[in-house]
Structure 1
Amino acid sequence: MDKPMTEDPVHPAEGGQSARAEAPEAARGLVALQSRQRMRDGTELLLRTWEPDPRGGSAPLGCVLIVHGLAEHSGRYQHVAEVLCGLGLRVRAYDQRGHGASGGARMVADHPDSYLDDLAEIHDAAVRAWNELPILLGHSMGGLVAARFATARVRPVRALVLSSPALALRLSPAMMTLHRVLLTLAPRLRVPNPIDARMLSHDPQVVARYRADPLVQTTITAGVLESFIHGMAQAQADAARLEAPMLMLVGGADRVVDPAGSRTFFEHAPADLREQVWFDQGYHEVFNEAEPLRSEVFATLTEWLRRHLAPLQR
């Protein structure tokens, strides 16, 4: 079910219970239409949809589905949507289950492909609504989900953009031992999220906003980590099966995920489809980096998209 919301969105509390929240957001004139889509298991996910300015006089050139990273939410991508809409693209992002204002137990993945299955349903609804294949843009955990989606050929996509994808993690033997114990005994037990906000961006305002954001999750479970471990191995094994053009935007100084995973995935992807830009000084959130790096990242993204949108421009 995909319907406009007629009241303020809700922030699910533990176990999917809900509480009233703020009204739909707007910035610089671009308003996100909020709606909800019910997954097959009954979980409702919050969607945000941005449309290009109709005063431009042209029909949209395509659509983008944004898949956010671990512990965050789609509301953090307003500025990304503005850039994409400026290119003539409609944009849809969603809060993954257990994240943000979506339903589901906080930070719980009941099976390793839970997030992949949700993306398939979000994709199908977008294709029905817009009658075109979407471009996938995934960041961090969302980059892993998007990479798996494309390489496993769950559904066809027009193109793939990966921002600091979680294709490798730095996990010590002690951490892996603890993970296996928790996965066996308490896969839904929430433990502190190890992400250090200082490692997200060189911009202190980004770090401060992340820390103050009530929708950012501060915990993780063994079930979610297992979805990473399972997904990373499968994505790397399937890299050669990629069928869509791909751009990878990688922060070389990333300490949240291991950027070596991006290099390995890129090396095994089809040479005629792959493109990678390495920002040596970039931290994890390259779309939120301090200037001038942030502008360099967006310039790279827009130039690549313009090349791949050119055949459809009127």
Structure 2
Amino acid sequence: MTDNPANSPAAAGAPASAPAARAGLDAGPHAPVQTRQRMRDGTELLLRTWQPDPARFAEPLGSVLLVHGLAEHAGRYQHVADLLCGLGLRVRAHDLRGHGDSGGARMVADHPDAYLDDLAEIYDAALRSWKELPILLGHSMGGLIAARFATARVRPVRALVLSSPALALRLSPAALTVHRLLLALAPRLRVPNPIDARQLSHDPAVVAAYRADPLVQTTITASLLESFIRGMAQAQADAALLEAPMLMLVGGADRVVDPSGSRTFFDNAPPELRDEVWFEQGYHEIFNEAQPLRGEVFEALAGWLQRHLQPVQH
């Protein structure tokens, strides 16, 4: 099913706070607990865990593992965690290796599935503590990682939410030639990251905060780009293997990743499991878009999750 946000109440001029009010979300922030988890290779990753208000939810209604995008870190998702906690969900997000406050060589992928392997370890530890299948939510590169995780059936998930997933890139022949040379000669060499912050959001405050954030990486390596290229091809090939309900939230004006990759993945996913909301004017970071679009995105996410949080009728 493909939804048209132009038909939503938010698009019809509802105030920005209306989605949160209608969904019964908490207005106040939920402070995360920070811990570290050591991966099998010894690398320590920073984890943030947010819990719903116990006064409202005696027990969480579910769990979310959130995977952030290229060059950023999980600390940029406080507002997303607030929304999820307001729905009764607990949330855990890690800074990817080589990102944020996690260990590992900056922006290096030692092998194409390095991020997938880390997520499996994060998943296993969460499952031991929470005893339930998590919802997997990934943005951009995190969306690619989440899509690969679910379609390769690395572990079972309750549901899959993809925000502007990196399922296709706009790479010119010249850029691909440079990439292949670097991959052969210097795969760990850090070169300038081509992302233009102005293409992330229509909100100037978001752009300024991104540029000023000391934890945002400004470089990339051929090894990391290769993990994209291989991962995208495999995710597209495996789309039909999806076993969990999926929501795709896509910015139609995305210039950072090619949104046509989302169309292809969606078209090949099982029809009974797939939902998509296409925000035609949205830039890449739809969770950080200018209002009222950000409110429309959050309303679409909250509404879909609430429908999938209903207990199964026997």
Q: Could you say whether these structures have the same fold, taking a TM-score greater than 0.5 normalized by the shorter chain as the test?
A: yes
Residue deviations 1:231-266 (CA, integer Å, cap 9, x gap): 000000000000000000000000000000000000
CA distance 1:178–1:124, shift in 2 (3 Å): same
Tell me what 1:203 maps to: 203
Tell me what 2:175 maps to: 175
Q: Give the aligned residue type for 1:260.
A: S
Tell me what 1:127 maps to: 127
Residue deviations 1:87-125 (CA, integer Å, cap 9, x gap): 000000000000000000000001000000000000001
Matched position secondary structure for 2:180? helix
After TM superposition, what 4+ stretches of structure 1 lie above 3 angstroms from structure 2?
Answer: none
Counterpart CA distance in 1 for 2:39 and 2:190 is 23
CA distance 1:311–1:214, shift in 2 (3 Å): same
Quote the offset at 1:30 in angstroms.
Answer: 1.4
Specify every segment of 5 or more residues in structure 1 that has no aligned partner in the other structure, as ranges: 1-26
Are 1:213 and 2:207 an aligned pair? no
User: Is the 8 Å Cα contact of residues 160 and 247 (structure 2) preserved in structure 1?
Assistant: yes
User: Is the 8 Å Cα contact of residues 52 and 86 (structure 1) preserved in structure 2?
Assistant: yes
Q: Give the aligned residue type for 1:193.
A: N
CA distance 1:274–1:189, shift in 2 (3 Å): same
Q: Give the aligned residue type for 1:189.
A: L
Tell me what 2:271 maps to: 271
Q: Give the aligned residue type for 1:257.
A: V
Counterpart CA distance in 2 for 1:139 and 1:180 is 26
Tell me what 1:262 maps to: 262
Tell me what 1:305 maps to: 305
Counterpart CA distance in 1 for 2:291 and 2:150 is 31
TM-score between both structures, scaled by the size of structure 1: 0.90
Q: How big is the alpha-carbon RMSD for the aligned residues of Structure 1 and Structure 2?
A: 1.1
CA distance 1:138–1:208, shift in 2 (3 Å): same
Specify every segment of 5 or more residues in structure 2 that has no aligned partner in the other structure, as ranges: 1-26
Counterpart CA distance in 1 for 2:61 and 2:112 is 34
Matched position secondary structure for 2:267? helix
Matched position secondary structure for 1:55? coil
Quote the offset at 1:171 in angstroms.
Answer: 0.3
Residue deviations 1:40-62 (CA, integer Å, cap 9, x gap): 00000000000000111431000
User: Is the 8 Å Cα contact of residues 32 and 48 (structure 1) preserved in structure 2?
Assistant: yes
Quote the offset at 1:29 in angstroms.
Answer: 4.3
Aligned residues: 287
Counterpart CA distance in 2 for 1:308 and 1:259 is 25
Q: Give the aligned residue type for 1:191.
A: V
TM-score between both structures, scaled by the size of structure 2: 0.90
Q: Give the aligned residue type for 2:200.
A: L
User: Is the 8 Å Cα contact of residues 61 and 312 (structure 1) preserved in structure 2?
Assistant: no
Counterpart CA distance in 1 for 2:204 and 2:137 is 25
Are 1:110 and 2:110 an aligned pair? yes
User: Is the 8 Å Cα contact of residues 201 and 283 (structure 1) preserved in structure 2?
Assistant: yes
Counterpart CA distance in 2 for 1:154 and 1:65 is 14
Counterpart CA distance in 2 for 1:312 and 1:161 is 20
What does residue range 126-165 of structure 1 map to in structure 2 within 5 Å? 126-165=126-165
Tell me what 1:68 maps to: 68
Matched position secondary structure for 1:65? strand
Q: Give the aligned residue type for 1:218.
A: T
User: Is the 8 Å Cα contact of residues 167 and 262 (structure 1) preserved in structure 2?
Assistant: yes
Matched position secondary structure for 2:311? helix
